[in-house]
Amino acid sequence: MTAYSKVGFIGLGSMGYPMALNLHKAGLLAGVYNRTHSKAVEFSKQTGCPAADSIETLASRCDAVVVCVSADQDVLDVAAKLAGSLTPHALVIDCSTVSAETARTAAQSLAANSIDFLDCPVSGGTEGARQGTLAIMCGGEPHTFDHALPILNAMGKRVVLMGPVGSGQATKAVNQIAVAGIAQAVSEALAFAEAEQLPLDKVIDVVGSGAAGSWFMSHRGPGMAAGRYPLGFKVALHQKDLKIVRQMAAAHGVQLPLVEMTLLHHQRLVDSGHGDEDISALHRLKRKLFNPRD
């Protein structure tokens, strides 16, 4: 097997657009497709890279395709089209966040036409996507992963094969549980600190330097202290991901308390018009505990 040299990209959203730009900079990109064609045209104007008007046209130009679309059914729809249009031994890399089961179903539909598949969800947000510093958690066959590394390294700085297909998505689910817990803990702790009339900048400094220190405390704490919650990672997206985690935990016959509590809180934020804010907006609800009339 030779290295993939003609890579296509499907899904030029907040994540996909900058990820595709990094593939272009690495000299790997052969074409892009976006459901709303105007975005693909915009990308083409910026880079000179061809904008395909269908997934089938894109597939005819490529030996590998990176997908970054919204949710489970979107991945399955795109995979079905790619299964019918890519040549045997081509590769599909899915960077969307979906369930491990969806990854396995997509892989099976592609394997029926001898097309390889890796599930490669990412972490690091739009900033990581722009800078090419994403953490990428991968599932698939080791030899497929090895051949895909030039593509993955163009988009991320930490690229790890976790196991067979589905393991990347399972690892992303682990990430989202931990993020829920950290966001809950830090937002609650800072609301308590405020109620105790402590100087919040000093709390973030000293507590953040000890055992309770975390990326979330030092990067999102100052925003919370000022009552501002700029993006970051959207409440609505974390909610979507935690619903995937809920479904995966249910397959073990388990309901995870932290996940259920955070889903409840995220729904409250969405219902009060804060679904597009950063998940540090959980601090709004924690503050309300101390100031019910606010």
For binding to ligand NAP (CB under 6 A), which residues are involved?
Answer: 11-16, 34-36, 39, 68-70, 74, 77-78, 96-97, 122-123, 125-126, 233, 237
Q: Using CA of residue 76, residue 77, residue 81, residue 86, what is the dihedral sign? A: negative
Q: How far is the CB of 134 from ligand NAP (least distance, A)?
A: 8
Active-site position among 39, 172, 234, 286: 172
Q: Which helix (H) or strand (E) holds 139?
A: strand 134-139
Asked if the bond preceding 11 is cis, omega within 30° of 0, the reply is no
The nearer residue to ligand NAP, 73 or 291, going by C-beta atoms, is 73
CA 229 to chain centre: 19
Q: How far is the CB of 255 from ligand NAP (least distance, A)?
A: 22
Q: How far is the CB of 265 from ligand NAP (least distance, A)?
A: 19
Q: Which residue has the tokens 């598949």?
A: 117
The nearer residue to ligand NAP, 47 or 126, going by C-beta atoms, is 126
The nearer residue to ligand NAP, 4 or 17, going by C-beta atoms, is 17
Q: How far is the CB of 34 from ligand NAP (least distance, A)?
A: 5
Q: How far is the CB of 263 from ligand NAP (least distance, A)?
A: 15
What is the DSSP pairing of strand 122-123 with strand 134-139?
A: antiparallel
Q: Residue 167 has which token pair?
A: 């393991």
Task: Let me know how many helices (H) and strands (E) the chain has, helices first.
Answer: 13, 8
Residues 137 and 146: beta-carbon distance below 8 Å? no
The nearer residue to ligand NAP, 121 or 140, going by C-beta atoms, is 121
Residues 165 and 139: beta-carbon distance below 8 Å? yes
**Which of 177-183's residues contact partners 24+ apart within 8 Å by CB, and which partners?**
177/242, 177/245, 177/256, 177/258, 177/259, 179/216, 179/233, 179/238, 179/279, 180/238, 180/242, 180/258, 180/259, 180/262, 181/258, 182/214, 182/216, 183/216, 183/220, 183/262, 183/279, 183/280, 183/282
- Whether 202 is catalytic: no
Residue number of the CB closest to ligand NAP reads: 13
The nearer residue to ligand NAP, 14 or 60, going by C-beta atoms, is 14
Active site residues: 172
